[in-house]
Amino acid sequence: MMKLYWAPRTRSLRALWLLEESGAPYERVRLDLSTGAHRTQEYRAINPMAKVPALGDGPVVVAESGAICAYVADAYPEAGLAPPIGDPARGRYLQWLFFSPGCIEPAYLTKSANITVRPETAGFGDFDRVFDVLDAAVQPGPWLLGERFSAADVLIGADLHFGMDIFKIVPERPALRAYVDRCLARPAFQRAKAIDAAGL
């Protein structure tokens, strides 16, 4: 059985949501960040960055929430959360998986820290371009891959939820708001959010 190392109110929500979408059995191991449980040598053997989440699946150990989502989606193909290798949709799926840490997170950092970066020197371009691209991507709907919900929607949906509803640094746009609302309405997201809120 998979084992998720997690903590409430962190990027663990992405992994919780994906695991709930997958329907695969897993157990949760909550780390109390206030006590430094994530900095122990034992946990650093699982994730040397001393962050959550991390996932153990038999001999497999995966850290980074995006990598966990990709791993689970591929490991449990019956859930339909990733186009298989050879499917033409896999290219765009991988693009959106990497867009989350490669573009959205740097855009949030520069915006929240009020850092100015020349777009031609930044791998993510600039804040406005990131959200212009996402706005155009979700407009056809309902999901990034059209009718097919995927692990990419978990990452991008969670990022947009944080940016629009929690950090409030992403301006409201009708297509982005509708997309986030569709994500938040998913039963698996509701279950993950309840687990996160309860901290259990």
Q: pLDDT, tens digit, for every residue of 35-51?
A: 989 999 999 999 999 99
Residue 125 and residue 50 share a domain:
no
Asked whether residue 13 is assigned to any structural domain, the reply reads yes
Residues 128, 70 share a domain: no
Q: Is 64 in the same domain as 132?
A: no
Give the model confidence (pLDDT) of 13-34 as tens digits: 999 999 999 999 999 999 999 8
Within-domain flag for 193: no
Q: Answer whether residue 135 is part of any domain.
A: yes
User: 22 with 73: CB under 8 angstroms?
Assistant: yes
- Same domain for 76 and 157, yes or no, is no
pLDDT of residue 8: 95
Residues 74, 94 within the same domain:
no
Are 183 and 95 found together in one domain? yes
The CATH code of the domain that includes 162 is 1.20.1050.10
Report pLDDT digits (tens) over 137-157: 999 999 999 999 999 999 999
CATH number at residue 47: 3.40.30.10
- Domain ends where: 30, 55, 80? 80
Q: What is the mean pLDDT of the chain?
A: 94
| Number of domain units in the chain | 2
Write out the chain's pLDDT in tens, 200 residues: 999 999 999 999 999 999 999 999 999 999 999 898 999 999 999 999 999 999 999 999 999 999 999 999 999 999 999 999 999 999 999 999 999 999 999 889 888 888 877 766 667 778 889 999 999 999 999 999 999 999 999 999 999 999 999 999 999 999 999 999 999 999 999 999 999 999 87
Q: Based on the domain organization, do 27 and 60 belong to the same domain? A: yes
Tell me which residue of 134, 139, 132, 125 sits closest to 157, measured CA to CA: 134
Residue 71 and residue 141 in one domain: no
**SS3 labels along the chain:** CEEEEECCCCCHHHHHHHHHHHCCCEEEEECCHHHCHHHCHHHHCCCCCCCCCEEEECCEEEECHHHHHHHHHHHCHHHCCCCCCCCCCHHHHHHHHHHHHHHHHHHHHHHHCCCCCCCCCCCCCCHHHHHHHHHHHHCCCCECEECECCHHHHHHHHHHHHHHHHCCCCCCCHHHHHHHHHHHHCHHHHHHHHHHHHCC
Residues 60 and 125 in one domain: no
In this prediction, what percent of the chain has a pLDDT beyond 90? 86
Domain range for 73: 2-80
Q: Which of 80, 103, 125 is the last residue of a domain?
A: 80
Model pTM above 0.85? yes
Burial of residue 53 (number of CB atoms within 10 Å: 0-12, 13-18, 19+)? buried
Whether residues 112 and 171 fall in one domain: yes
Which amino acid, residue 195? I
